[in-house]
Chains A and B, each alone.
Chain A
Amino acid sequence: MLQAVREKTAACVQCGYCLPSCPTYRVTGQETHSPRGRIHLVKMAAEGRLPTAAIADPLDLCLACRACETACPSGVEYGQIHAAARRAIAAAPEPPLARGVRRLIFRSILPYPRRLSLIANGLWAYQKSGIRRLVRRWKLLDKLPGQLGQWEQILPDLPAPHRRRLPDHVSDKGGRKTPRPSAPAEPAMPDGPGKVGLFHGCIMEVLYHRVNRLSMELLARCGYEVHLLAGQTCCGALHAHNGDDDLAVRLAKRNIEAAERAGVDWIVGNAGGCGAHMPESPALFAGDPAWQARAQAFADKVRDISQLLWEAKRPQAKTLPVAVTYQPSCHLAHVQKVTDAPRKLIQSIPGIRYREIPHPELCCGSAGVYNLLHFDTAMQIVALKTANLRDMQVSYVVTSNPGCQLQMQMGIRREGLSSSIRVVHLVELLAEAWGIDVPS
């Protein structure tokens, strides 16, 4: 099973340049939990010198943030080595709790928009009715495993079910956009910057519905013709990273079909993780040239929202006299290699005092469901980040991925900074500066 990546592990010359970029190496101080160590372990397993089960823990503790790929001078394809190893490990037994949690979330929830929507309704009801107050008063969540109580506290307030709908001017049928009710700052150009389909994600659509709505508004304000990709589903990144290739393939096919039906120029994402996985989808179709070609056409159209906004003619922003830092999404920075556009967009807002966070390349510890499965390590990693925030005197931390947003929120709460620092998605910051809001 690992034979296919044996060749890729050979590209590592073990120079060690990746070590400082690895969050788990930094918090554990053990080579076993470094990129160089993991690559070597996969190589040993591929050569039959170690059983696959022996490398499960180190590969499991990897965030798959891929900062090591940016640091690597030799171009080692760590992401593919890691994914292959996770596939091999998935075939071997693992602790029942971790497997149960992953299977429930990945297989039974993420691929089903209606189930996600039901969960959103449930969470909304929980937050709005008196149940949350009672639960918190009686500290019921502290009795649950997986530190759920701590997560519950930082969840954003969800919109009511009847408010979770598309903006009036966005079509979900793949047809033409109807004119915006309020006049846009820039009239849509006849040969405008392009027709874009928003990829709204699975978790993103539940927890950050507002960010999705704002994304569409911002794109429309910049002259794009905005569509929702009808029939889209979860991107499948978490499945691919955790060795569930079959489901990853099925999800990719549905998204490719959705994009083909919509006939858009760009598929735009606002979650770094999804945006990184989708361009890599051709690799899922090795041995199936027809689907591979369709996946490639799909992959070539994927852009992060920051890229499209930066390239377009943007509306005049109002002054925001605040100090801001940016915590990049790893998959946006290290996989999509989008590093300038978000920073330039932030700095284009008048009055903003932009401060670069130390070691922006270092993962915050969110990494999909990593912070649920490896809570303690994830909290040590986020503490590396938040320790710097106090001295930086910023009032906003801008993120570009929903997982990072939750994780930074958690880190800031644990650091006792919740009252002075807000965590926002880049889209929310821009909307504030451009005077755009959506009902919530």
Chain B
Amino acid sequence: MNYGQLDNDKLLELRAIVADHRHLLSSPADRHSYSYDASYGTFLPDLVVQPVSAAEIAGIMKWANRHRIPVYPRGQASNLSGGSLPVYGGVVLDLTRMNDKLEIVPEDLIAVVSPGVLTAHIHRAAAAYGLMYPPDPSSAAISTIGGNLAENSGGPRGLKYGVTKDYVIGLEIVTPQGEIVRTGGRTVKNVTGYDLTRLIVGSEGTLGIITEATLRLIPKPPAAATLMAVFDDLVHAGQAITRILTSGILPSKLEIMDQESIRAVESYRPGGLPVDAEAILLIEVDGHPAAVADEIRQAGEFCRRYGARSVHIPEDAAAAEKYWQIRKYVSPAIARIKPTKISEDATVPRSQIPAMFAKLKAIREKYRIHLVVFGHAGDGNLHPNILCDERDADEMKRVAAAVREIFAAAVELGGTLSGEHGIGLMKAPFMEMELGEAGLDLMRRIKAAWDPNHILNPGKIFPEPGQKWVLERA
């Protein structure tokens, strides 16, 4: 791809479009500070722009399209797939200043939000009306809703409540050519024309820049209960999951931690976790208080019947919070093992979870890598995490081969490369493995129709000819 160079004349033009010149950042320190996200690899942008309105973004996109300057939308860059990295230089569009609108309309059960609003702030605002915005990625305290929409983020509640795409009914976007377009609306039912809303959500910032979203809210369930079950055998834990999910109970969360993650948490925050156990299941049910009490008891019963060594049901919400804290500690705990953390989210049909665990175990042994597995077992969305050191060339070679095999294993079992992190830069080279040639080509044609000059977030989702995979660059 041939892109234009940012020279003085083009900068002068841009300064006429962006009203507040303090929102144009170009010092070396600024450029380096926008060269990364929470994944792997760094790419230096030429300029960072912090727009404040859709109209300003429209101006920027027309300018960029005219001069063939690549533009990369970005929230707070907590993404794990490299979706916001400026791989071809150009302009990083930091949308965090667009955080002024967070309107809850309780009568319509909706929220209208600006892209820079933090997901946790939406949770809080909805809760004030007794409502809930269900998607809850673990990064909710720092992730922007714009980023969640672009990546179609999930989270533990996906099992019962679905993911981000299930709660978006309307968008305002700026297209790569600088038009401002509204999709969907404020009603749950809406069949007028193509469902562009669904196309944009999860498009990873390659089709348009989201400047406002209308989100669906639901009444907050009045009660919840939690249990923790400890298993000596991972396969038994898998069988218990299947039994619970076919019994008529739909937990709001169903999380699994393998032995490596149990051990990592125990050494990070010692609290008497069973380090000899092969798996821990954490289950939450929510709904009417009477139903909740009955369901959590039944779920505990199933765990015991399938060989759980012990089942703990905390007395109150505060005690339950302590159990969930254990799950939240997994990520930080394993990050201390080694400096480089490669976080995958290969997802398989629920019934294949035990098979996937077996394959992961074989991969760990074959490549002698530090592989930890935990995740949202209820919806088949596992998080195999590899802890390594990017400065160790030999280790990185083994890691790259292992990641390749993890993707292949997930697809073989009828699953997908990514359940919730997105493809971004990290998984682009594997798209054809899952979609096939024709499937990938259809997506490429959609991209070309929206963005004929390929200026919006280039280098993402689609493998470029000769593109080297990030893990194999070194």
A residues lining the B interface (CB < 8 Å):
10-11, 13-17, 19-20, 29-32, 34, 37, 40-41, 44, 49-50, 54-55, 57-58, 73-75
Q: Does B457 contact A (CB under 8 A)?
A: no
**A32 contacts which chain B residues (CB < 8 A)?**
25, 27, 29-30, 33
Residues of B within 8 A of A54 (CB): 27-29
Q: Is B76 an interface residue (CB 8 A)?
A: yes
B34 at the interface (CB under 8 A from A): yes
Select the stretch in B175-183, B335-343, B444-452 that faces chain A. Answer: B335-343
Closest CB-CB distance, A38 to chain B, in whole Å?
8
Give the complex CA separation of A54 and B36 in angstroms: 18
Are A37 and B78 in contact, with the CB atoms below 8 A? no
Give B21-64 interface residues, CB cut-off 8 Å to A: 25, 27-30, 32-38, 50
Q: Which of A13, A30, A44, A50 contacts B38 (CB 8 A)?
A: A13
B142 lies within 8 A of chain A by Cβ: yes
Q: How far is the CB of B377 from chain A (nearest CB, A)?
A: 22
Q: Which residues of B contact A34 (CB under 8 A)?
A: 33
Residues on A with C-beta less than 8 A from B139 are 15-17
One of B27, B76, B341 near A19 (C-beta < 8 A): B76
Extra contacts, 8 of them, besides A15-B331, A50-B29, A74-B332 (Cβ < 8 A), are A10-B339, A11-B336, A15-B139, A16-B78, A29-B50, A55-B29, A58-B29, A73-B335
Within 8 A of A (CB), among B326-362: 331-332, 335-336, 339, 341
Inter-subunit contact A15/B28 (CB<8 Å)? no
Question: What distance in Å separates the Cβ of A109 from its nearest Cβ neighbour in chain B?
Answer: 32
User: How far is the CB of B270 from the nearest CB of chain A, in Å?
Assistant: 15
The residue among A13, A19, A49 with the most chain B CB atoms within 10 A of its own CB is A13
20 pairs, A vs B, C-beta closer than 8 Å: A13-B335, A14-B36, A14-B37, A14-B77, A15-B142, A16-B76, A16-B139, A17-B139, A19-B142, A20-B141, A30-B30, A30-B33, A31-B34, A32-B27, A37-B29, A40-B33, A41-B32, A44-B32, A54-B28, A74-B332
Q: Mark B123-152, 1 if CB is under 8 A from A, else 0.
A: 000000000000000010110000000000
**A31 to B32 CA separation, bound complex (whole angstroms):** 10
* Residue of A whose beta carbon sits closest to that of B37: A14
CA distance A37 to B27 in the complex (A): 13
Bound together, the chains give a CA A75 to CA B141 distance in angstroms of 18
* A-side contacts of B77, CB under 8 Å: 14, 16, 31
Q: How far is the CA of A376 from the CA of B370 in the complex (A)?
A: 48
Within the complex, the shortest CB–CB distance from A440 to chain B, in Å, comes to: 46
Cβ–Cβ < 8 Å partners of B76 in chain A: 16, 19
A17 to B34, Cβ gap below 8 A? no
One digit per residue, 1 when the CB lies within 8 angstroms of any chain A CB and 0 when it does not, for chain B 308-336 equals 00000000000000000000000110011
Assembly CA distance A14 to B441 (angstroms) = 34
Give the interface of B toward A (CB within 8 A): 25, 27-30, 32-38, 50, 76-78, 94, 96-97, 118, 139, 141-142, 331-332, 335-336, 339, 341
Give the distance in Å from the alpha carbon of A30 to the alpha carbon of B141 in the complex.
18
The reply to whether A74 and B29 form a contact with Cβ atoms under 8 Å apart is no
Residue from A17, A31, A50, A74 whose CB has the most chain B CB atoms within 10 Å = A31
Interface core residue of B27, B32, B142, B332 (most chain A CB under 10 Å): B32
Nearest residue in B to A10 (C-beta to C-beta)?
B339
CA distance A332 to B281 in the complex (A): 38
Give Cα A16 to B118, complex, Å: 13
Known contacts being A20-B141, A20-B142, A41-B33, is A15 close to B38, with CB within 8 Å?
A: yes
Contacting pair B142 A16 (CB below 8 A): yes
Nearest B residue to A33 via CB reads B33
B28 proximity list for chain A (CB < 8 A): 50, 54
Distance in Å: Cβ of A244 to nearest Cβ of chain B: 23
Interface centre among B27, B29, B94, B336 (most CB of A within 10 A): B29
Interface centre among B37, B78, B118 (most CB of A within 10 A): B78
Which residues on B sit within 8 Å (CB–CB) of A74? 332, 335-336
Minimum CB–CB distance for A32 against chain B, Å = 4
Q: Which residues of A contact B32 (CB under 8 A)?
A: 40-41, 44, 49-50
A-chain residues with CB within 8 Å of residue B96 when the two chains form the complex: 29
Question: Nearest-CB distance from B413 to chain A (Å)?
Answer: 29
Q: Which 5 residue pairs across A and B have the least CB separation, nearest first?
A: A73-B332, A37-B33, A32-B33, A10-B339, A31-B33
A14 to B78, CA, bound (A): 8
CA distance A154 to B184 in the complex (A): 56
Residue of B nearest to A31 (CB): B33
A17-B96 Cα distance, complex, nearest whole Å: 15
Among B94, B141, B341, which residue has its beta carbon within 8 angstroms of that of A31? B94
Chain A residue contacts of B50, Cβ below 8 A: 29-30
Q: What is the CA–CA distance of A40 and B29 in the complex, to the nearest angstrom?
A: 10
Minimum CB distance partner of A11 in chain B: B339
| B336 contacts across to A, CB distance below 8 A | 11, 74-75
Contacts of A49 in B (CB 8 A): 32
List the A side residues contacting B142 at CB < 8 Å.
Answer: 15-17, 19-20
CB contact under 8 A between A17 and B33, given known A29-B50, A50-B28, A54-B27:
no
B358 to chain A minimum Cβ distance, whole angstroms, is 28
Given known contacts A20-B142, A73-B332, A74-B335, A14 and B34 CB-to-CB distance under 8 angstroms: no
Interchain nearest-CB distance for B95 vs A (Å): 11
Q: Which residues of B contact A75 (CB under 8 A)?
A: 332, 336
If A10-B339, A11-B339 touch, whether A73 touches B29 (CB-CB below 8 Å) is no
Cα distance, A75 to B339, chains bound together (Å)? 12
A16 to B451, CA, bound (A): 30
Docked pose: A73 CA to B50 CA in angstroms: 28
Closest to B96 in A: A29
Return the chain B residue nearest A57 by Cβ. Answer: B29
Nearest CB in chain B: distance from A348 CB, A: 23
- Measured CA separation A40–B35 after assembly (Å): 9
Contact B78 A15 (CB under 8 A): yes
The smallest beta-carbon distance between A82 and chain B, in angstroms, is 15
B331 A41 Cβ-Cβ under 8 A: no
- Residue of B with least CB distance to A37: B33
B38 near A14 with CB under 8 A, answer yes
Least distance between B370 CB and chain A CB atoms (Å):
14
**In the assembly, what is the distance between CA of A15 and CA of B385, in Å?**
14
Min Cβ gap B56→A in Å is 15
Q: Is the CB of A13 within 8 A of B341?
A: yes
Tell me the smallest distance from the CB of B26 to a CB of chain A, in Å: 11
- Give CA–CA (A11, B340) in the complex, Å: 8
CA–CA, A38 and B36, complex, Å = 12
CB nearest neighbor in A for B142: A16
**Within the assembled complex, what's the spacing in Å between the Cα atoms of A57 and B50?**
20
CB B425 to nearest CB in A, in angstroms, measures 15
Q: Least Cβ distance of B396 to chain A in Å?
A: 14
**What's the nearest-Cβ distance from chain A to residue B333, in Å?**
8
Contact B97 A29 (CB under 8 A): yes
Question: With A and B bound together, what is the CA distance between A63 and B217 in angstroms?
Answer: 40
